[in-house]
Amino acid sequence: MTMQIYESSEDYLEAILIIASEKGTVHSVDVAEYLHFSKASVSIAMKKLRENGYIRMEKNGELILLDKGRVIAESIYERHRVLTDFFVSIGVDRETAAKDACKIEHDLSEITFEKLKQMIYEGKA
């Protein structure tokens, strides 16, 4: 991870990225539904993400990832996908694998993550 921010902020940024790729546009209500958080909690988080330059909010309420927010979101989402694939490859069902990946994706060192990626996708450790 190139930038250090709170795990919850990483989750919000990742959610914005995923929702945008699925729906095209993202609003706070979409993030609340996706993460199963209250609209009030999401509103507070979006304000902090805006103030710190990770997202922009359009006049219509659409959330847009800014460059530094996108870098973090893409990094976390890649970790999520790789870890989920790994857990599935060792026999864990996809739903459990995805839940476990969420728990680990924020804390894994870059070195360990890169080695895991090599092992999974290139067949070498």
Please tell me the pTM assigned to this model.
Answer: 0.85
Which residues are CB-contacts of 76 (< 8 A; sequence separation ≥ 6)?
A: 1, 10, 11, 13, 14, 105, 106
Token pair 């539904």: residue? 33
Residues 61-105 have pLDDT tens digits of 999 999 999 999 999 999 999 999 999 999 999 999 999 999 999
Domains of the chain, CATH where assigned: 7-66 (1.10.10.10), 73-122 (1.10.60)
Give me 73's structure tokens: 């979101």
N-term to C-term CA, the chain: 20
Give me 100's structure tokens: 């476990």
Is the pLDDT confidence value at 19 over 70? yes
